[in-house]
Chain A
């Protein structure tokens, strides 16, 4: 941000035991329209941080009572505080300390003696970055739980497109059209809500993200945006849990002599282009590529061979031996030139057979 443009004012906490430094920083920051609160040591700083909301902390390292390292550690390990950027101020003969602070999660550093021009530029840049992160946080919360959103932000995840290794899952309810025809609109919506609640639970509890819902179908991603080296296994375990949940639901429905649901799940793994698409007001995290197409085709194929969960070879290679599989042979997939090896995951043993 150019120094000529005036930043949006923020509430800043300046932590320094030295009055000359406090005066100097106050001067530079208040001139920019920021609201500045002071702390003379680390303990005071933490008390203030817990009592009030701040947009940025300017932190001296060398202080009595509780030094800058201890403050930084408390801030970065506290979920309520760690989104606040911390800029550390230090003399240049303390390069080791600066490095340690950056490694501990400080946003930036300022060398002492404080140069007011540099102070303004660094603070404004950090505030601007925070504003962007806050926006990202808000956007991410549209498709992820708050825990996932926090994880994403702390792992330095960016919304831009990336080629990543992931497992993609498609799932839908079989013969949903006939269910719609034989039920009242209220019953259909009720059923869909129950179905989605169960599916979301199974997927998110295994680290996946549901990024599309359409009618009775959904698409989920495992391994992106949060990297999970075991994304294949997570996807398959989520699928097994989804099938199991539907069976439990069916047992309940049977008591009320209501409709039985059956789902089909297709999973494919490999490179996908993942990123954030849409507009600022409405956006989703999604992924595209051959892996995505294959997962969708496998889900379609579950109907043809009447198996609940079908996976591709790449997914199979990431599974531990205890997952029961059956080889379904090479299958011609629409849109692909050569047949694809397909495997069926045998659902956990249950009292109902589904054939």
Chain B
């Protein structure tokens, strides 16, 4: 789920403590973004949906979660065109990918803290 080159490059330009902090921030923020998108889908609020998808895309790419970033990008594009009627499948796919990403990032974090 994670491109380890991206994490390694982050680690090279900063340090372990910072990468841990960045992972924690990301893992804190993502559930709220996914919840926000679910709520926006229920409300038919394409603008809020698009903004949350944009943040999810951007943050996932930063941490090397490339497949999740790609799904978020698809969601952002759909919301930009105002199409919220067929986002549910992609949204649940994003939530599923996030579960995998979280496990991998937690493992990475523990490795860094050893």
Residues of A within 8 A of B (CB): 17-21, 23-24, 27-28, 62, 64, 91, 93, 112-117
Q: Mark out the residues of chain B between 71 and 91 whose CB falls within 8 Å of any chain A CB in the assembled complex.
A: 73
Size of chain B's interface in residues, with CB distance under 8 A? 21
If A20-B63, A64-B51, A114-B62 are given as contacts, then 11 extra A-B residue pairs at C-beta distance below 8 Å, sorted by A number, are A18-B59, A19-B29, A20-B29, A20-B62, A23-B21, A23-B22, A24-B62, A27-B14, A91-B57, A113-B58, A117-B13
B-chain residues with CB within 8 Å of residue A18 when the two chains form the complex: 55, 58-59
Separation of A75 and B29 alpha carbons in the complex (Å)? 30
Q: Is the CB–CB distance between A112 and B25 below 8 Å?
A: no
B-chain residues with CB within 8 Å of residue A115 when the two chains form the complex: 9
Q: Is the CB–CB distance between B13 and A28 below 8 Å?
A: yes
B-chain residues with CB within 8 Å of residue A19 when the two chains form the complex: 25, 29
B-chain residues with CB within 8 Å of residue A28 when the two chains form the complex: 13
Separation of A115 and B26 alpha carbons in the complex (Å)? 17
| Chain B interface SS verdict (over half) | helix
A-B contact pairs, 29 of them (CB 8 A): A19-B25, A19-B29, A20-B22, A20-B26, A20-B29, A20-B58, A20-B59, A20-B62, A20-B63, A21-B59, A21-B62, A23-B22, A23-B25, A24-B22, A24-B62, A27-B14, A27-B18, A28-B13, A62-B54, A64-B51, A91-B54, A91-B57, A91-B58, A93-B73, A112-B62, A113-B61, A114-B62, A116-B10, A116-B14
* Nearest neighbor of B57 in chain A, beta-carbon distance: A91
Q: Is the CB–CB distance between A112 and B73 below 8 Å?
A: no
Separation of A93 and B55 alpha carbons in the complex (Å)? 14
Q: Mark out the residues of chain B between 41 and 74 whose CB falls within 8 Å of any chain A CB in the assembled complex.
A: 51, 54-55, 57-59, 61-63, 73
Separation of A23 and B17 alpha carbons in the complex (Å)? 12
